[in-house]
Amino acid sequence: STPCKALYVCNDCKEPFDYFKCLSLRRLFFSIQNGTGKIVFNRPDVLNSFNAEMAKAFQSALDECAANKEVRCILITGEGRAFSAGQDLSATIAPGVKIKQIVEDQYNPIILKLRQLEKPVVCAVNGVAAGAGANVAFACDITLAASSAGFIQAFSKIGLIPDSGGTFFLPRLIGLQRATALTMLGDKITAQQALEYGLIYKVLPDESLMAEAEKTAEKLASMPTKGLGYTKRLLNASLNNNLSEQLKTEGDMQEAAGKTYDYNEGVKAFLEKRKPVF
């Protein structure tokens, strides 16, 4: 395992990709252990709401996870009692702040990186997830939530529209009716309701969320990483493809999967009646 690193964008030294300077300004924790790149939002006093520094640090951590071969799965969670309350609203109404710029600089790259990262991303929603915080959780591959967690499309309450992929993922995950009701009414739903709607994969008791999430991430990290990456690429493509296009893409990706070390090892292990080592 690699020692824990802190990733941040420092207001003082303006060096966004330096992991080790100015540790007192940490916005986000990043560590790699047992094949899992763990990202923890760390602004608990403001419910891990995103300011520019935390958003940039999150982007840097996702880039590191994509590039680093040691990372075979990503786990995202929040420090303290919340997952994330979305945009830090104290940073947005100052004169001269351009909301479009915030969306384009902070959230659009985060959502694209989460979807384009060809490794599984597990999200452990440890508490409330609001606004962009909720939509980050829904853009992850396997989202687990503590039973006390809740989800709010908080945008309508302050006159905004759902960003961070909300208008893309919500109708696809839960249908137009529920997506419309949740985004317009801004009702808070429980983790159990989110599970019943199909927004998340599992609800876990608060005290076992992190252990289960880490176990799930470690299991994924020991599986055929290339094949899981191709699976994610196919699932992404299915959001826009028609059936013939999708079948064609499945053929192409199966050919690529069939050429991997993992496929060779998986079949050999099956025939030799032993556990494969991927």
Q: List residues near ligand T3D by CB under 6 A.
A: 46-47, 49, 85-90, 92, 99, 102-103, 128, 130-132, 152, 154-155, 158, 160, 163
**140 with 114: CB under 8 angstroms?**
yes
Shorter beta-carbon distance to ligand T3D: residue 85 or 213: 85
In this structure, the number of other CB atoms found within 10 A of the CB of residue 220 comes to 22
Determine the angle formed by the axes of helices 243-258 and 261-271, rounding to 10 degrees. Answer: 70
- Three-state SS at 5: strand
For the sheet containing 188-190, what is the strand order?
A: 82-84, 128-130, 150-152, 188-190
- In whole angstroms, how close is the CB of 96 to ligand T3D at the nearest point? 13
- In whole angstroms, how close is the CB of 175 to ligand T3D at the nearest point? 23
- Three-state SS at 80: coil
- In whole angstroms, how close is the CB of 99 to ligand T3D at the nearest point? 4
**82 with 128: CB under 8 angstroms?**
yes
DSSP string, 23-51: GGG--EEEEEETTEEEEEE--GGGTT-B-
- In whole angstroms, how close is the CB of 63 to ligand T3D at the nearest point? 21
- In whole angstroms, how close is the CB of 81 to ligand T3D at the nearest point? 7
